[in-house]
Amino acid sequence: MSRVLACAVVLASVPVLAGPTRKPATDKYPAEAITAFVEAVIADKSGDLDVATRRYTDANRVSPQPNTYWNVAELYRRMEKPDRAVEAYQKYLELAPDAKDRKDVEKLIAQLSRETIVVLDGDDLDGVILVDGKLIGPSPAVLKLPKGSYVAERISPLSFGSQNLTVRPLATQHLRLGREQKGNVVLAGNPRGLAGSWEEHGVTFQIPGRFTLPPGKHTLSPKPACSSIVVDVPREANAVAHVFIEAQPSVTGCIPIAVKAQTLRLGAGKP
């Protein structure tokens, strides 16, 4: 889990070359390609990235040029399409094998090839996003995640959703999380081997799930966990006790668990 949590800390990181960069047309461009190239630059500067991409593509049909492919790659990177960006950067290097920025571009390709864009959202307001039990921020969240497995959650005053997420490089994934569920306690995590549900305090619990308990401390004992879970339920109306539980490898009859607890404040209170 330590590797996954470390990844979550840098979810919002950006590639090495941030912001819009463009390379100019050269004297190798024929007139028809120049026209399309200039129109692409104008569209890019005005924020119409789809038109810019089409006009750069038109310029490349007339005369494939490394600088055009560079600009296309930058557009795709800013449009959060890493697979298309990598293809265009590679074409840039193919057409300009002696490019002075070759090492920087190769580093950028390597970084993009390790990343996936993940968009997490839901259908109601005031939701927050968590990944592996770490609070990311308000919903929607756009994350850059390395290859791996994660638990994504969305919690709002009116809903809760949790989903195991497998990230593969050079992809864009869009998850909508949540169904109507209210309560002041959320249990989430990767509880491998624990009971699907159990009853305590007059409530039927399961992981993941959302429940209601009176304010104060409560002890829960999912079976066959080696230890109990202490849930400190807040008194504030807009607050939720969030408990992230992960089962650890076991060679005995019970299952060791790692637990991370926090209080989330939703809606007007903000987390």
**Is there a domain that residue 9 lies in?**
no
CB 119 within 8 A of CB 11: no
Q: 38: buried, middle or exposed (CB in 10 Å: 19+, 13-18, 0-12)? A: middle
CB 38 within 8 A of CB 62: no
198 and 110 in one domain?
no
Residue where a domain terminates, one of 72, 90, 114: 114
Q: How do residues 158-177 score in pLDDT, each as one tens digit?
A: 999 999 999 888 778 899 99
Q: What is the mean pLDDT of residues 86-90?
A: 96
Complete DSSP assignment for 138-167: ESSEEEEEESEEEEEEEE-SSEEEEEEEEE
62: containing domain: 15-114
Peptide bond into 140 cis (omega under 30): yes
219 beta partners: 230
Task: State the residue for tokens 């990181």.
Answer: 13
Q: How do residues 175-185 score in pLDDT, each as one tens digit?
A: 999 999 999 99
**Is there a domain that residue 126 lies in?**
no
104 and 190 in one domain?
no
pLDDT computed for residue 20 by the predictor:
66
Query: Using CA atoms, how far apart are residues 242 and 212, in angstroms rounded to an integer?
Result: 12
Q: Is 126 helix (H, G, I), strand (E, B) or coil?
A: coil
**Is there a domain that residue 151 lies in?**
no
Number of domains in the chain: 2
Q: What is the mean pLDDT of residues 254-262?
A: 94
* Arithmetic mean of pLDDT over the chain: 89
**Is there a domain that residue 42 lies in?**
yes
Q: What is the mean pLDDT of residues 47-70?
A: 97
Of 207, 196, 201, nearest in space to 243 by CA: 207
pLDDT computed for residue 19 by the predictor:
54
Residue where a domain terminates, one of 94, 114, 134: 114
Query: Using CA atoms, how far apart are residues 152 and 169, in angstroms rounded to an integer?
Result: 17
189 and 98 in one domain?
no
CATH number of domain containing 72: 1.25.40.10
pLDDT computed for residue 146 by the predictor:
85
**Is there a domain that residue 143 lies in?**
no
Q: At residue 26, does pLDDT exceed 90?
A: yes
**Is there a domain that residue 139 lies in?**
no
pLDDT band at 267, cuts 50/70/90?
Answer: confident
CB 106 within 8 A of CB 93: yes
Residue where a domain terminates, one of 114, 135, 158: 114
Strand pairing category for 229-233 and 216-220: antiparallel
**Is there a domain that residue 154 lies in?**
no
**Is there a domain that residue 79 lies in?**
yes
Peptide bond into 208 cis (omega under 30): yes
Q: What is the mean pLDDT of residues 183-208?
A: 91
Reduced DSSP (H G I as helix, E B as strand, rest coil) percent helix, strand, coil of the chain, to 5: 30, 35, 35
Query: Using CA atoms, how far apart are residues 256 and 259, in angstroms rounded to an integer?
Result: 10
pTM of the model: 0.69
